[in-house]
């Protein structure tokens, strides 16, 4: 039995769930609504304030789907009740970030600024404090989408191991390398 798949998902009091006949799960809460299709073989049941995900057989495919769909539904429940937050910091001289509407403008040491349109489900804020690296904060109810947006922003200037410059997650540890040593 899947260790993750067999765990029940507890529904908070302010979250509603609807399971359609064609195995489409919709979760509604204070932070919005999320929908995901579930494989037709996987059984999703609601008992009281818990959701149970079950598999019909011990086939390898069913075992793989069991934990996956339990995690996806749990991420939706957490997203619509609490939401998700990612923080990225820009480390480097002259690196800047500003948000205008739903467009994120980044100055990352290239000859041009980079303009990134945010999806409507993601809200971005940029904070620049004197003496500290600028921090971009992303908030959303969709864990997959916020992770994808954060990875896209990070890919614009990856952290290099010699000086540690680039875009990184707040709290991320970067392995540093020693530079060339001077010859005698």
Domains observed in the chain: 4-82 (3.90.930.12), 84-169 (3.90.930.12)
Q: What is residue 179's predicted lDDT score, i.e. its pLDDT?
A: 85
181 has a pLDDT exceeding 90: no
Nearest to 174 by CA among 89, 107, 95, 86: 89
State the pLDDT at residue 180: 85
How confident is the model over 100-130, as pLDDT tens digits? 999 999 999 999 999 999 999 999 999 999 9
- Provide CB contacts within 8 A for 81, sequence distance 6+: 12, 14, 15, 29, 30, 31
Phi, then psi, of 20 in degrees rounded to 5: -80, 170
Taking only the tens place, the pLDDT of each residue in 42-87 is 999 999 889 999 999 989 999 889 999 999 999 999 999 999 999 9
Give the span between the Cα atoms of 114 and 153, in whole angstroms: 10
Pairing of β 114-117 and β 123-127: unpaired
Say whether pLDDT at 184 is over 70: no
> pLDDT value at position 3?
84
Q: Work out the average pLDDT over 14-33.
A: 92
């Amino acid at each position: 039995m899947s260790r993750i798949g067999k765990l029940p998902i507890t529904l908070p009091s302010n979250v509603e769930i609807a399971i359609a006949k064609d195995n489409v799960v919709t979760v509604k809460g204070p932070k919005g609504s999320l929908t995901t299709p579930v494989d037709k073989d996987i059984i999703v049941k609601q008992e009281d304030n818990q959701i149970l995900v079950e598999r019909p057989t011990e086939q390898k495919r069913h075992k793989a789907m069991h934990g996956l769909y339990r995690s996806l539904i749990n991420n939706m429940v957490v997203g619509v009740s609490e939401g998700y937050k990612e923080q990225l910091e820009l480390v480097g001289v002259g690196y800047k970030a500003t948000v205008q509407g739903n467009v994120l403008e980044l100055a990352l040491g290239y000859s041009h600024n980079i303009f990134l349109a945010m999806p409507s489900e993601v809200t971005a804020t940029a904070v620049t404090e004197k003496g500290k690296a600028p921090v971009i904060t992303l908030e959303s109810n969709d864990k997959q989408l916020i992770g994808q947006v954060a990875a896209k922003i990070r890919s614009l200037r990856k952290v290099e191991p010699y000086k540690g410059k680039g875009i990184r997650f707040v709290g991320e540890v970067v392995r540093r390398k020693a530079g060339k040593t001077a010859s005698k």
